[in-house]
Amino acid sequence: MIGYYPGCTLKTVASIFDRTAREVFRELGVELRELKNWNCCGTVYSLASDDVMHQLAPVRNLIRAKEEGYTELLTLCAMCYNTLKRANELVRRDPEVLSKINDFMYLEEVKYDGSVEVIHGFELLRELEDKIKEKVKNPLKGLKFAPYYGCLLLRPREVAIDDPEDPQYLSYLVELLGGEAIDFPYATECCGSYHTVGAKELVYQRTYEIVNLARELGADALVLSCPLCHFNLDARAKELEAERSGFEHIPVFYFTELLAHAFGLSELQLKQKGTQ
Amino acid sequence: MYVKIDHTKVKGDLVRKIEEISGVDVNRCYQCGKCSAGCPGAPFMDLLPSQVMHLLMTGRVDRVLESNTHWICASCFTCTVRCPKDIDLAGVMEAIRQIELRERKDFVRVDKLPERLNAPTIAMVSAFRKLTS
């Protein structure tokens, strides 16, 4: 059984990601059952070997999943996916860390044992390919998308959902839905991530380069799976228009919005020529 | 004249601490520069990632700590997946950040941020976890 972990940002600024995902998976015959009592995953996996404390938040979510009888935990946000998956891999390969964490969380009724599998929405979609084909009513005909994976779905290699240097799944999905996926050299480039808080200039520069290249290559929109990438490539890009003459943003969509459009559940808000 | 070169003495305690936290033996680096070539933060860094590695190998941690490189690194793992020697560069950068954060040297000052900060939860949680103590 699959449990669903939305994460903080899908409950706020990225609520469209959560809503379209529920609609789309329901259409494909999968009801997304949200964990009853989840907490923040921590957003970033701690890379310090002596820092077990920061592994508590992701592991606690895995306990919640186990408690409710789920064998798989589905994530959509790239950052949640990476953090939960890496914490899970860590406790699976290091029994000492696992017992330390379980000892610390002695008030939990269920002990964690590494038995829950963390998966990303793409992995579930891969299994539903035939159903997706059946459900396409409103193909993305004539639309060109730049596939954008960012970092955390592909790196490091141990948690990659696709080839870290040459991922294909997003392009494949866009084409399955009747759209065109451009060959996008910046598909795996970093957007600047959390520097959007304290070093905005860095994010502006990354956004400028990524959005400009997508536009130059003829993309009508970017398609992605990370709410932080979305914020940087969309909200920050709109701010950038005032700062750099000649720069124009392009629409940025979650992959579930493309599916919802193709299934005839909602419509993509594309930018008309000459308008904002 | 007999000269004994001992890399354990060259490295010093702080480099050993960085190695311990990151699980990386910095001497494995052969300075090919692939990490620096692909780093999206490189244009904003005082030192390139490969220069940081070179300084660590030769025990010049002070030069590393003076730079902004470890703070600019956003843990995108491009260097980590490309390193031909399988060095987890992102882990090394995290260890250097930890050395600073454990002495309460924060990169982002929460009290200096604008009152109404336009950034989603995901950005704030990750920035505070990576860049504040």
Copy the structure tokens of residue A56: 């508590």
State residue A275's pLDDT score.
46
Percentage of chain A surpassing pLDDT 90?
96
Question: pTM of the entire structure?
Answer: 0.95
- One domain, residues B20 and B81: yes
- One domain, residues B91 and B68: yes
**Domain assignment present for B14:** yes
Count A/B contacts: CB-CB distance under 8 Å: 127
Cα A208 to the center of its chain, rounded Å: 21
Residue A222 three-state SS? strand
- One domain, residues B85 and B71: yes
Q: Are A196 and B119 within 8 A, CB to CB?
A: yes
Q: Express each pLDDT in B23-65 by its tens digit.
A: 999 999 999 999 999 999 999 999 999 999 999 999 999 999 9
- One domain, residues B90 and B133: no
Dist. CA A193–CA A203, nearest whole Å: 7
Task: State yes or no: pLDDT of B4 exceeds 50.
Answer: yes
Dist. CA A193–CA B49, nearest whole Å: 18
Strand ranges across the sheet with A33-34:
A33-34, A2-5, A72-75, A117-120
**How many C-beta neighbours within 10 Å does residue A160 have?**
19
B74 to chain A, any CB pair closer than 8 A? The answer is yes
Q: How many domains does chain B have?
A: 2
- One domain, residues B98 and B113: no
Residue B43 three-state SS? helix
- One domain, residues B49 and B91: yes
CA distances from A118 to A57, A85, A137, B5 (A): 15, 5, 31, 48
CA distances from A238 to A204, A228, A235, A248, B124 (A): 10, 15, 5, 8, 20
Q: DSSP string covering B91-114, please?
A: HHHHHHHHHHHTTT--SS-GGGS-
- In chain B, positions 27-56, which contact chain A (CB-CB < 8 Å)? 40-41, 43-44
Task: State yes or no: pLDDT of A146 exceeds 90.
Answer: yes
Which residue segments constitute the domains of chain A, with CATH numbers given? 2-123 (1.20.1050.140), 138-262 (3.40.50.11810)
Task: State yes or no: pLDDT of A268 exceeds 90.
Answer: yes
A117, A80 in Cβ contact below 8 A? Answer: no
Dist. CA B80–CA A223, nearest whole Å: 25
- One domain, residues B69 and B131: no
- One domain, residues B94 and B50: yes
**How many C-beta neighbours within 10 Å does residue A139 have?**
13
Range of the domain at B52: 7-102
**Long-range Cβ pairs for the range A89-94 (8 Å, 24+):** A89/A158, A89/A159, A90/A55, A91/A55, A91/A59
Q: Are B76 and A228 within 8 A, CB to CB?
A: no
User: Radius of gyration over alpha carbons of chain A, in Å?
Assistant: 19
Closest chain B CA to residue A11: B121
State residue A274's pLDDT score.
47
Q: Are A156 and B88 within 8 A, CB to CB?
A: yes
CA distances from A186 to A91, A209, B40, B98 (A): 33, 9, 11, 30
Closest to A182 in 3D by CA, of A208, A220, A126: A220
- One domain, residues B97 and B118: no
- Reported ipTM: the value is 0.93
**Domain assignment present for B2:** no
Q: Express each pLDDT in A154-210 by its tens digit.
A: 999 999 999 999 999 999 999 999 999 999 999 999 999 999 999 999 999 999 999
Q: Which residues of A touch B126 (CB under 8 A)?
A: 43-44, 79, 193-194, 228
Q: Express each pLDDT in A48-97 by its tens digit.
A: 999 999 999 999 999 999 999 999 999 999 999 999 999 999 999 999 99
Q: Are A43 and B131 within 8 A, CB to CB?
A: no
Q: Which residues of B touch A164 (CB under 8 A)?
A: 81
- The average pLDDT across A36-59 equals 97
- One domain, residues B66 and B117: no
Count CA atoms within 13 Å of residue B68 on its CB side. Answer: 11
- Mutate which of B16, B122, B126, B129 to test chain A, going by most A C-beta atoms within 10 A? B122
Most distant CA pair in chain B: distance in Å? Answer: 67
A31, A98 in Cβ contact below 8 A? Answer: no
Of residues A40, A154, A202, nearest to B41 (C-beta): A202
